[in-house]
Structure 1
Amino acid sequence: KLPLPDASADVIITDPPYGGNVQYMELSDFWVVWLHEWINVDGVTDKTNEAITTRHRGFEGAKDLRHYRDMLYKIFKECHRVLKPHRWMVMTFHCKEFKVWSALHLAAHDAGFVMAEHDGMIYQPGIKNHEHTINLRRSGSMLGDFILSFQKVETQPRFKQIPHAEIGRQIERLAAEAVLHHQRASLSLIYMKLMPWLLNNNLLDKISEKELVPYLANSFEEKDGKWYLKANPGD
């Protein structure tokens, strides 16, 4: 629990774990061995309440997406408690896995937050020297971060039911805005354009990452990591 009274904070800025991208406490066990006398830890760290997913399953203490979402919900609920009405929780996030995005967003939604429809997600390009670090090279990582803005609300809007065909049309329309604005667009820029709409309509559980590229391929073509508008859409 945060040492703050209810409705007392103007803004919260945070940086939650990106699913299973980094196994923070497991890695910390290497240096805890030397520091245990100063940090009052006997043996390895207690990882019970760590808000991550573990990359491997089937062992005692393994953490799945349900655990990740539940832990984020508890954290975000406490953020909701201390924020003043209609104020903002802002965070950075970095992941290509739709299921991880969905877990994060649903945790925020259930805790009483709504992502801003406009400028709710801003892409921050990555640092060139970080492109080849281990955590960025693994599957599910992307270069750069997204800055997400969630507003505290008292009444949560209900998710709309959207036909699958309309989902495809909306994906193509939003992707076209990104591509036309920049003449070309990386997948990160397209994500930035798509994610607020997909998240606020709870659609990430209905469309997988593998389905996204075929949607884009209807109207765009990919060259050297960039997407361009096709001369003859539908070919």
Structure 2
Amino acid sequence: MSSAMIVMRRELRSYFASPIAYVFGALFLVVQLWLAVTTTLKHGGQAGMQVFFTLLVPTFMVFVPALTMRLWAEERKLGTLELLMTFPVRVRELIAGKFLSVLVYLGVVLALTLALPATLSVYSNLDWGPVLCAYAASLLLAGAFASVGMFFSSITRDQIIALLLTLVSLLLLVVLGVPQVTEFLAALLPRGLVEALAAVSPTPYFGSIARGVVDTGDLVYYVCFTGFFLYLNGLVLQGRRLRG
């Protein structure tokens, strides 16, 4: 078994060995399904699922930072990060293990929401193709958000600071992709700069895949975005290893 898989299993055990994972998962499901019941079911069918996945973006903005804030900050606070740095394990394997643990956990939680489209399909003609694309887009979005959270968790030993930094950063990134905000900024800033800022936001790419339109550019964006922040995470940890 590779070192990354060992780290992933260690993290998953730490999640499920405490009530935090269950409380977190229950809260996520309650919030998302409550939003679904109050808004999604009014639309029904395909339109209802589009609303469901649109509402997933702000839900992830809150829950993913809460999940990632401890990944490195807690290790630093407890002094176990220094111990990890002495092990014959590559930094990228440590990062990959922790990153995969977040994706697996969120994948399990997302899978539990499949009850919603299953219910809608009983009462309406639901096309499962776009729905499954939207679930894949949700995992890509979760990975992108998690990479940002892991980076900020690596630069501080305070979990609350890591949470706030991630939350503010994700809020800015998401807002930059809102058309109304883009139009407002276009009246104040050069059009090219506004378009560049909007291109950084994950929101349009998520919306495209969630509608069932899988474009290579959208996939490349998520790979580059997630890889960039994981790379920054690696630079921080490698610097700590070199400093001893």
Q: TM-score, normalised by structure 1?
A: 0.30
* Larger proportion of helix: 2
